[in-house]
Amino acid sequence: MSDPILLKSNDPIIKTVGFKAYRSIVERRVERFTPAPDEPQDIEISTPWGEFLTANAGDYLVSEMDAPIEDRWPVEASIFEATYIITRPGFCVKNALTHLAPLVDVIGGDADQEVIVETLEGMVSVRAGDFYLALGIQGEIWPYPEDKVSTIMTPAE
């Protein structure tokens, strides 16, 4: 098997990717990470896809409605506030478009290729065939599960 491919938001290839705009069609659970002053100001979150990401004080912890509450991921506060809306206490929807491209297309066609994506919250290692590459409002990138594209996203008109 070949060595993992590392993708960073400032890699030249990111500018050449044919991202397509999608809109989320689901409500999600959300809570703000607000530790007391005498508690640790960051925590490691075990994501639903098996990686560990760091949430800092003030970040938001988001999860799908049909998933166990511990299956969550952190979203940096400024990005959450620019891209999500609180629908009612403890719940949100993403109102910004998410730009997606099949990760297989980004790396050249090998579905079994391991890809390490440098996200704002940490490094995430995924199998290319199981994920899309997402591009956010600040140029940040992250892997997006392929099965979620067809179930909770719709192409933007």
- Strands (DSSP E) found in 33-127: 42-46, 52-56, 60-64, 72-75, 84-88, 91-94, 98-102, 114-119, 122-127
Q: How far is CA 145 from the centre of its chain?
A: 9
- Distances in whole angstroms, Cα of residue 80 to Cα of each of 34, 38, 63, 72: 15, 25, 13, 14
This prediction's pTM:
0.81
- Asked if 62 and 92 touch (Cβ cutoff 8 Å), the reply is yes
**pLDDT, tens digit only, all 157 positions of the chain:** 589 999 999 999 999 999 999 999 999 999 999 999 999 999 999 887 778 999 999 999 999 998 888 889 999 999 999 999 999 999 999 999 999 999 999 999 899 999 999 999 999 999 999 999 999 999 999 999 999 999 999 999 7
Number of domains into which the chain is organized: 1
Range of the domain at 20: 5-155
Residue 141 is predicted with a pLDDT of 97
